[in-house]
A and B are shown apart, each in its own frame.
Chain A
Amino acid sequence: MLGVTSVVTPSQLRMKAGMLKSVLTGPISQMPKRWKTFTEFLDKNLAEHVIGHEPFIELNGACQKIQGKDLVQDSGLVAIYRQPETGNLLIPEKKAAELPKIVENLCRLHDNLARQKIPLLVCIIPDKPSLPDATFPEGYDFYARENLDSFIALAQAKELDCLDLRDKINTSSQFFKTDHHLKSTTAFVVAKDIVDWLRRNNVIDADTSFDPVREHYDEWLTPCRFIGSWGKRVGEIWSGDDDFVLMVPKFNNSFTVDMKALRSSVMHREGDFTHSILDLSVIESTDKYDNRWGVTLGHYDWEMVRIHNNNKHSTGKVMFIEDSFGLGTMPYVVPTVNELVMIDLRSFKDMTVTRFIAEEKPNAVVVVYNSQQLVLNNMFNF
């Protein structure tokens, strides 16, 4: 017929409808999600990474101080409280909801290791909010002490080897004021208890020359001043700053360190304690915002670290399953062992922990976490 060039058949219509549907349910349907990811990324990161937020944080802190406030609402942490008596910073802590499950996972790990005749030590280090002198205004969750007490009771009931540090770590002066981490001198105390346990379990020999005791270490008050992670959120004017004391061994030592971060290649270091285990560059800046407490290995959350003690007098291979509290404690344990392997379950994803242990065959496994992990509960899947 004149003027009719083509007729669309039903099958062609069906095909076009199918194509449209596949586009709408395929790439186009992904667009809103990708758009949201993009907008959320910008919303979250623009202030911090593009504008340079430190002067504004300080200005905000000054405002808070002028108003005489002891409590500052902070993104991601609900609130930061500055104890009027000590100037110590604290944050709320919710009630741990899954302690029985955590203990059950630890028991399973224990049983698995027991079959391989590998002793397990659970070292849950009290965090700042769990200390007896920690107080927080009413109306905020503050269950840190209760969480820790409940966990230790459950662990002991299951006859897990569990370090109870509540008597030894019991004042806020053992922690940095503006950060949630232990001071080096406190990590030193924890390390001693771990070393004693290793010796009791015949993982290391009887030679105590390298034990973390005051006679074997020098206390070095570094020139570093820094603002911890909590202090960085509210500014130095409001929070103050911290000094930095480092424990450095007096004895001769030499270590070989291989460190792997997530999706990176292995980094290698060799040398004595201050050149291989420590990374002093993180405390050398004149800018307090740049300095960090985590001088151990530069305090990155390494996926896996392997440290070989070149000192031939030491024995034993120990595996740490750790978070940043374990990272702070490890330097004072490693001089007593032959080899120490550390993994951080936030980034160690290559294989299961039990399989890794079977491959590494350590003489002992130590789980070293701070007690806040009892609430977060994402580090106990072994």
Chain B
Amino acid sequence: MLFSSPVFLFLFLPLVLLVYHVCLKQLAARNAFLLFVSLLFYAWGEPWFVLVMMFSIFVNYWIARGVSSIDKKNAFLVVMVVFNIGILFVFKYLAFTVRQINALFDLSLAVPTIALPIGISFFTFQAMSYVIDVYRGEVPVQKSMRNLGLYISLFPQLIAGPIVRYHDIVEELHDRKVSAGDFDDGVQRFVIGLAKKVLIANNVAIAADRVFGADVATLSCLTAWFGAIGYTLQIYFDFSGYSDMAIGLGKMFGFHFLENFNYPYVAKSVSEFWRRWHISLGRWFRDYVYFPLGGSRVATTRRLMLNLFIVWLLTGVWHGANWTFVLWGLWYCAFICFEKGLKMEPWLQKSRMIGHVYTLLVAVIGWVFFRSNTLGQGWEFVKRMFCAPSFSDGETAFLMHEYGVVVFLGMLFSCPCFKGKWFGQVVQGNWVYRIGCNALYMLIFLLSLSYVIKSSYNPFIYFNF
């Protein structure tokens, strides 16, 4: 089920909110109900996959119980890593691995056809973070399988994040209230997220897909750039929109998830970009891979580079089973190593425009590889961006005519236009502006609904992870 589908907006969410807030008063009942509807939400698209998730919850629950005991906690930790990575490997990477083995050793092993459970990377990483935190003694073990199941499967963040850390919501699992302000914030956040997704992401996606689907040899320079920028905007508004909806939904039920995006395209260095993009994933790798390896507090620069290489290799691999994702991860590794190695970041932060342009270039080119089906296609695409025989053509004019407005709006709203202090003060202080804001939210919601009801172009990109 998608957040931006009529079934969710008109049936599932209203019913769930009604039952949760009006019919159920006890927290235990509310938790049980949320767990049930979360499983129903996940089972909507593919019923069998909910069994995979329930099995994961069951196993991780018992592993955490084992890890919390004094004896053999290391053994349990190893079992947890093997189990969770194993699940991820089988569903996500097995086919790719077999194909590579076949190519490398000229074999003809049967390539398994295994459907990918939606969101498996997210809920697996959440489960792993819980067990590791229990192992480290940072959180007490959750004795209720229902509550653990709720943490892992909570529908707002189940399918595409943010990756919620157990210690961020453990108290809310046992005690939470939803204030009117929280609910209001949640609704507004959800409306903004929905608009990002259906008004901007879905529409630039059409342009991006058109360019990336064309024969790369026919692309003019501007057309290639239009496609690259289109995808840059698509993935941001798609993913951040989903995160906004997840955060908003969480608030409606009394959960406060951490922010997952902070206007990454205004960053002035690649390091800063990754402090603003998919923040929950960055924190996960930082806390569970980078820091255990020593982080930046290592004796030699060489060791620091190695740590960064491992983290970014894994980050790329996490995103998908394709060499393009590996290259994409290592692309960022190279620039982060460059910034850290030469201590460039302070200079880039001061230089503002240079840092900004440099970061955007790195990001846009990175997304080209991320989007491409093969390394070769990505490379050819980047070449067209910089040295195509023709600068522009009829296709460029068509794209500008049809999608220029939405691309412009995407570029505008990827900057924090309405977050300035002055705006907040004006809105807070003036009832006319508050009414105007509410009316604007309603208009945005209705516009979004119009696209939801009409649109067919609706997949969330990060569902593939």
A residues neighboring B (CB under 8 Å)? 31-32, 35-36, 39, 42-43, 46-47, 50-51, 53, 56-57, 59-60, 63, 67-71, 73-76, 137-139, 233-234
Contact = CB atoms under 8 A, between A and B. Distances in A.
Given A51-B6, A51-B10, A75-B456, A69 B47 contact: no
B351 interface: no
B447 interface: yes
Most interface-central of B43, B447, B454, B455 (chain A CB within 10 A): B454
A123 to B, nearest CB: 33
11 contacts: A31-B47, A39-B45, A43-B6, A51-B6, A53-B454, A57-B450, A60-B454, A63-B447, A70-B401, A73-B456, A137-B398
A70 B402 contact: yes
B364 interface: no
Interface string B427-450: 000000000000000000011011
Contacts of B446: 56, 59
A56 B210 contact: no
Given A63-B447, A68-B405, A56 B453 contact: yes
B214 interface: yes
Contacts of B405: 67-68
B453 A53 contact: yes
B453 A73 contact: no
Nearest to B457: A73
B48 A32 contact: yes
Nearest to A71: B402
Contacts of A75: 454-456
Closest 6 CB pairs of A and B: A75-B456, A60-B450, A59-B450, A47-B6, A56-B450, A67-B405
B445 to A, nearest CB: 11
Nearest to A58: B450
Q: Most chain-B Cβ atoms within 10 A of its Cβ — which of A31, A69, A234?
A: A69
Contacts of B11: 42, 46
Contacts of A56: 446, 449-450, 453-454
Contacts of B401: 68-70
B44 interface: yes
A234 B46 CA distance: 31
B447 A59 contact: yes
Binding site of A, secondary structure by majority: helix, strand, loop or mixed?
Answer: helix
A139 B210 contact: yes
Contacts of B402: 69-71
Contacts of A138: 394-395, 398
B47 to A, nearest CB: 5
B206 interface: yes
B398 A46 contact: no
B45 A233 contact: no
A70 B1 CA distance: 31
A70 B452 CA distance: 20
B82 interface: no
Nearest to A66: B405
The B contact surface, by secondary structure, is helix
Contact of A32 (B47, B210, B398, B449): B47
B451 interface: yes
Given A56-B449, A59-B446, A67-B405, A74 B7 contact: no
Contacts of A137: 398
Given A70-B402, A139-B395, A57 B453 contact: yes
Contacts of A53: 453-454
A217 B214 CA distance: 51
Given A63-B451, A139-B213, 17 more contacts: A32-B48, A39-B1, A46-B6, A46-B11, A50-B10, A51-B453, A56-B453, A57-B450, A60-B453, A60-B454, A67-B406, A73-B206, A73-B457, A74-B454, A74-B456, A76-B456, A137-B398
Contact of A36 (B10, B47, B406, B451): B47
Given A70-B402, A71-B402, A47 B47 contact: no
Nearest to A43: B7
A137 B394 CA distance: 10
Contacts of B450: 56-57, 59-60, 63
Interface string B373-405: 000000000000000000000110010011001
Contact of A47 (B45, B406, B452): B452
A59 B448 CA distance: 10
Nearest to A78: B456
Nearest to B202: A73
B118 to A, nearest CB: 14
Given A59-B447, A63-B447, A68-B405, A47 B394 contact: no
B414 interface: no
B464 interface: no
Nearest to B214: A139
Contacts of B452: 47
Contacts of B48: 32
Nearest to B11: A46
Interface in B1-40: 1, 5-7, 10-11
A68 B401 CA distance: 7
Contacts of B213: 139
A42 B7 contact: yes
Given A51-B6, A60-B454, A39 B447 contact: no
Contacts of B214: 139
Contacts of A46: 6-7, 10-11
